[in-house]
Structure 1
């Protein structure tokens, strides 16, 4: 398989195998007017298998979404065919309008125009709690 290299854009690497479509959806990559290559189940010495997404256009990547989905993803910025920056992610301390509260009594369910705010409560287990009702939400089962 031959996937062309990109000259100016972003490469998301070290995506857990099978998670690239979640990232495609949450980053709204379908709205871009450029080439987006999703490469699934690539052999990896470190991970066994991984996914890669190549975006053939410079863009600001929402690192909060990526850090929530999988903080092992690396974000590579490409300019003139060369990687000029490599970003490593961390689980974000605060998520705004990335996930929704499932508690039917939460104010964000009754008032959907309110921002859904979650705060990182357990960095080791990637558990977030709703800022309004304290309902817990972990990343592993959500994606």
Structure 2
């Protein structure tokens, strides 16, 4: 069995759908040039995940620069545990953000955000629980596995 040391101060992003953690790291801006140590665990056994597998990201050090709002949009089952002095102090299940700014692109080729280079890509959460472009009302298409 693989053994990854515990972290002293930082965060653990857990219950990530198996095989998606690398893309998640890119969207969160986790890069190797940060001072924080990062551990990526892929295809770990999970009794809760429908597939029986999950990914985990551990970030040791200051993780205040992470934008965790996007987590609930990407995977509603993700949990974030805050670690201080080697002990978990808080566990959160992120809620879907009201707005997604520059996370995903509008697929409508006639949308102003697709035409203008410096226009932010902004999607708002609608009453039906789906995200819509604020410029053209295009509904965000979510990948289905």
**Normalising by structure 2, what TM-score?**
0.89
Indicate the SS of the match to 1:86. strand
1:79: Cα distance to partner? 0.6
Paired residue for 1:50?
54
- After TM superposition, the structure 1 = structure 2 runs for residues 38-117 of structure 1, keeping only pairs within 5 Å, are 38-47=40-49, 48-60=52-64, 61-117=66-122
Greater share of strand residues, 1 or 2? Answer: 1
Stretches of structure 2 lacking an aligned partner (at least 5 in a row): none
Stretches of structure 1 lacking an aligned partner (at least 5 in a row): none
Q: Deviations over 1:25-69 (max 9, x none)?
A: 001111422221110111111111111000011212312221111
List structure 1 runs of 4+ shifted beyond 2 angstroms. 138-141
Report how many residues are paired.
Answer: 139
Greater share of helix residues, 1 or 2? Answer: 1
1:140: Cα distance to partner? 2.7
Supply the distance in 2 between the matched residues of 1:140 and 1:102 (Cα, whole angstroms).
Answer: 13
Please tell me whether residue 7 in structure 1 is matched to residue 12 in structure 2.
no
Supply the distance in 1 between the matched residues of 2:125 and 2:73 (Cα, whole angstroms).
Answer: 10
Supply the distance in 1 between the matched residues of 2:18 and 2:119 (Cα, whole angstroms).
Answer: 34
What is the aligned-residue RMSD (CA, Å)?
1.5
